Amino acid sequence: MAERMLQFVRLSQAQPEKRDVAARRADFGEIYHYEQFDAGGATQQASRCSQCGVPFCSVHCPLNNNIPDWLKLTTEGRLEEAYEVSSATNTFPEICGRICPQDRLCEGNCVIEKGFESVTIGAVERYITDTAWERGWVKPPRPRSELAQSVGIIGAGPAGLAAAERLRLRGYQVHVYDRYDRVGGLMIYGIPNFKLEKAVVLRRWQQFEAAGIHFHLNSAIGRDVSLAELRERHDAVFIATGVYKARDIDCLGSNLSGIVPALSYLTASNRSNLGDAVPDFASGALDAKGKRVVVVGGGDTAMDCVRTAVRQGATAVTCLYRRDKANMPGSMREVKNAEEEGVEFAWLAAPEAFLGETAVTGLRATRMHLGLPDATGRQQVAPIPGSAFTIPCDLAIKALGFDPEDLPHAFDEPGLPVTRWGTLKVHHRTMMTELPGVFAGGDIVRGASLVVWAIRDGRDAADQIDAYVRAKAGGKLAVAAE
Ligand code: FAD
Ligand code: SF4
Ligand code: SF4
């Protein structure tokens, strides 16, 4: 069947088509016409792969997905097998297919890119798994036999869930604790619907429940249950609490009302779309409707804020970023989407002061210029004297990134060592902290990162936890009584 592959020489790259901009602006639905891509387009696109002997796409996928194999199986119409291969290395292929920055990972390293453009790996990955869901091939991760040993997981984000799935498959009694009322971490309350519809996350939750994973929601470790107690209850503990402390803007007027952190804003929007009663959204404090909005920051969170504001009916939306477009940390795909949806960008501009009596009415900003690179190779920015300008606004959103909470303090565990950035320190191979049997992974170890890296950490940690518990039990694990 190899002759069906290598079609990149005659077939151009095609991504799923985007919905019309006016329609996109009017609702929170995902922005792609997946149904058109699924009807034939995905199979054709998969056939563009040249089946490299050393697949750089896989090397640069954090999960080392077996991409050439599932592309070939898709081309041959063997979708159930394609799903088996793709789900063997990825807990959430349909989510990564939607929200990974593929241009920086798998697709950005596809060897046919030069002159022909890469294979549309992410879109095909999503197609395979969405089809698997439609046809009932996605089954709860049920073990062959039950073990008596249990693992406690703190955090139901992608890192915690990936570990939970893998440990459950091996028969462990898995207990996931989360301070939120829903499962998914930032996939449910951070990332907006137009990138990742919540039904896609919620159906995974149902599968995990059906697999016998125990979820203890509205349960904050350090407040409702102590880490010490969890260590008593379980044979091992995995900390996957993410990073949530918003970086602040230190300038005049930053205590005015109408200046809000990005995650509060996005969480309110996501909750409201999920049908929850959100008092700060209902009061208008976290709703951009009818307002002039300024978002400060240049990462993916900033892009999610500006695009959410557009959909809520803001009258004007501006993104203020101190470097230029080429130096933005966010994905270029998301910047392009935002531009198409009518967001204005004020490049090379930094906030100087928020204006207003009690509520914000404007933001005074200074123009910046890019100077010489520093030791890290990144160009330094410096203000241009006398270049101040004002952007009127009724809602200002701070999207400058996140730091970890002080976990040793929150968990009352001074023995938990942290790095100078406040992230948890773990042994690089075993992923264990200084506390025996306490492992950690995902954003709380890496700093703000990506869903796909959190999945990788969760899966790796599960392997390490399994090895630790087995070694502690002398190599033989007890089978749970029926
Ligand atoms: P999280 O997803 O943050 O999950 C941590 C969980 O731990 C949460 O559910 C939290 O409630 C819980 N928790 C925290 N403390 C406690 C406690 N004390 N007790 C109990 N539970 C606790 N990545 C991408 O790949 N693509 C994207 O497009 C993308 N967009 C993003 C958009 C936004 C707005 C943000 C903020 C992030 C985005 N990311 C994106 C990054 C991605 O969401 C994170 O890297 C990923 O979710 C980290 O996974 P995690 O499991 O480590 O932590
Ligand atoms: Fe690409 Fe992400 Fe899928 Fe890996 S998980 S193949 S990086 S889309
Ligand atoms: Fe196929 Fe590109 Fe991966 Fe090569 S690098 S195996 S062409 S997807």
Give the model confidence (pLDDT) of 309-338 as tens digits. Answer: 999 999 999 999 999 998 888 888 899 999
What's the rounded mean pLDDT across residues 141-152? 94
Judgement on whether residues 74 and 117 belong to the same structural domain of the protein: yes
Evaluate if residue 341 carries a pLDDT over 50. Answer: yes
Residue ending a domain, among 72, 106, 134, is: 134
Nearest CA to ligand 3 atom 5: 110
Could you tell me if 420 and 392 lie in one domain?
no
Tell me the longest C-alpha to C-alpha distance in the chain: 76
What are 24-62's pLDDT values in tens digits? 999 999 999 888 888 778 888 999 999 999 999 999 999
The answer to whether residues 275 and 227 belong to one domain is no
CA of residue 332 to ligand 2 center, whole Å:
17
Q: What is the mean pLDDT of residues 334-357?
A: 96
Q: Which two tokens stand for residue 115?
A: 């002159």
Question: Both 337 and 313 in a single domain?
Answer: yes
Q: What total of structural domains would you count in the chain? A: 3
Query: How far apart are alpha carbons 242 and 238 in whole angstroms?
Result: 12
Check whether residue 326 and residue 436 sit in a common domain: no
**Residues 161-180 pLDDT 10s:** 999 999 999 999 999 999 99
Domain end (from 400, 424, 439): 400
CATH number, residue 225:
3.50.50.60
**In a shared domain, residues 231 and 299:** no
Kindly state whether residue 480 falls inside one of the protein's structural domains.
Answer: no
Q: Are residues 264 and 229 in the same domain?
A: no
Amino acid 42: pLDDT: 87
Question: Tokens standing for 266?
Answer: 């996005």
pLDDT at 209 over 80: yes
**Residue 308 within a domain:** yes
Mean local confidence (pLDDT), 414-437? 95
At 145 the pLDDT is 92
Q: Which value, in Å, is the radius of gyration of the alpha carbons in the chain?
A: 23
Contact 5, 108 (CB under 8 A): no
Q: Which atom of ligand 2 is nearest to the CA of 90?
A: 5
- What is the model's pTM? 0.96
Res 476: pLDDT:
78
Confidence band, pLDDT 50/70/90 cuts, at residue 2: very low
List the CATH number of the domain containing 78. Answer: 1.10.1060.10
- Quick check: is 439 in a domain? yes
Q: Closest ligand 2 atom, CA of 122?
A: 8
Q: 130 alpha carbon to ligand 2 midpoint, in Å?
A: 15
**Residue 144 forms part of a structural domain:** no
Last residue of a domain, one of 134, 166, 198: 134
Percent of the chain predicted with pLDDT > 90: 84
Mean pLDDT of all residues in 136-148: 94
52 CA from centroid of ligand 3 (Å): 6
* pLDDT band with cut points at 50, 70 and 90 for residue 462: very high
Strand order through the sheet with 316-320: 259-261, 395-398, 292-296, 316-320, 344-346
Asked whether 57 lines ligand 3 (CB < 6 A), one says yes
Task: Identify whether residues 348 and 262 lie together within a single domain.
Answer: yes
Give distance in angstroms: CA of 133 to centre of ligand 2: 19
Q: Give domain status of residue 141, yes or no.
A: no
Q: Which of 424, 422, 405 is nearest to 244 (CA)?
A: 405
- Asked whether residue 477 is domain-assigned, the answer is no
CA distance 436 to 471: 13
DSSP state for residue 295 in the 8-state scheme: E
Residues 376 and 257 in one domain: yes
Question: What local confidence, expressed as pLDDT, does residue 482 receive?
Answer: 56
The answer, yes or no, to whether residue 376 has pLDDT greater than 50, is yes
The reply to whether 481 falls in a domain is no
Q: What is the pLDDT of residues 96-119, one digit of tens each?
A: 999 999 988 999 999 886 677 899
| Cα 304 to ligand 1 centroid, rounded to whole Å | 14
**Same domain as 298, residue 379:** yes
Q: Are residues 6 and 118 in the same domain?
A: yes
Give residue 9's pLDDT: 78
**66, 125, 453, 459: residue to mutate for ligand 2 pocket, most atoms within 8 A of CB:** 125
Check whether 138 has a pLDDT greater than 70.
yes
Q: How confident is the model at residue 481 (pLDDT cuts 50, 70, 90)?
A: low
Domain that holds residue 82: 2-134
Q: How far apart are CA 270 and CA 288, in angstroms?
A: 14
Tell me what pLDDT residue 460 has.
98
Mean pLDDT, rounded, for 205-213? 97
The ligand 1 atom at the shortest distance from the C-alpha of residue 452 is 25
- Give whole-number Cα distances, 414 to 154, 406, 433, in Å: 18, 10, 12
pLDDT at 92 over 50: yes
- pLDDT at position 1: 45
* One domain, residues 261 and 376: yes
For residue 113, what pLDDT is reported? 64
pLDDT tens readout for residues 393-404? 999 999 999 999
The string over 149-177, giving b where at least 16 C-beta atoms fall within 10 Å of a residue's C-beta and e elsewhere, is bbbbbbbbbbbbbbbbbbbbbbbbbbbbb
Asked whether residue 466 is domain-assigned, the answer is: yes
